[in-house]
Amino acid sequence: MLRFTVLGFPIVVHWMFWVNTALLGGGLSANRPEDFQRLIIWMLAAFVSIVVHELGHALAMRHYGARAAIMLYAFGGLAIPDRGFTRGRDIIVSLAGPFVQIILGIGAFTLLSISKGDAWVVTSFLGSLSMVSIFWALFNLVPILPLDGGHVLNGILGPNNQRITYTVSFALAALLAASMLFYTGSLWNTVFFGMLAYENFQRLQGNQTSSYFRPN
pLDDT per position as a tens digit, 22-43 = 887 776 666 677 778 888 999 9
Q: Say what the pLDDT of residue 27 is.
A: 64
pLDDT at 37: 86
What percentage of the chain reaches a pLDDT higher than 70?
Answer: 92
Tell me the mean pLDDT in the region 186-209. Answer: 84
For position 175, what pLDDT does the model report? Answer: 94
Going by pLDDT thresholds of 50, 70 and 90, the confidence category of residue 216 is: very low
Residue 125 has pLDDT above 80, yes or no: yes
- Which residues, other chains included, contact 52 with Cβ-Cβ below 8 Å and sequence gap of 6+? 100, 101, 104, 133
**pLDDT bucket at 117, cuts 50 / 70 / 90:** low
Annotated domain spans of the chain: 1-140, 142-216
Nearest to 102 by CA among 47, 153, 140: 140
Residue 214 has a pLDDT of: 53
Question: Which one is predicted more confidently, 209 or 157?
Answer: 157
**Strand 76-81 and strand 68-73: pairing?**
antiparallel
Count of beta carbons in the 10 Å neighbourhood of residue 5: 10
Consecutive H or E run containing 4: strand 2-6
Q: What's residue 212's pLDDT?
A: 54
Q: How far apart are CA 138 and CA 143, in angstroms?
A: 11
Give the pLDDT of residue 1: 81
Bond prior to 33 in cis (omega within 30° of 0): no
- Measured between alpha carbons, how far is 194 from 173 in angstroms, rounded to an integer? 7
Q: Are 193 and 167 in contact (CB under 8 A)?
A: no
Return the pLDDT at 115: 79
| Residue 25 confidence (pLDDT) | 75
Numbers of helices and strands, H then E, in the chain: 7, 4
- Whole-angstrom Cα distance, residue 2 to residue 44? 14
Gyration radius of the chain over CA positions: 18
User: pLDDT by residue (tens digit) across 52-100?
Assistant: 999 999 999 999 999 999 999 877 899 999 999 999 999 999 999 999 9
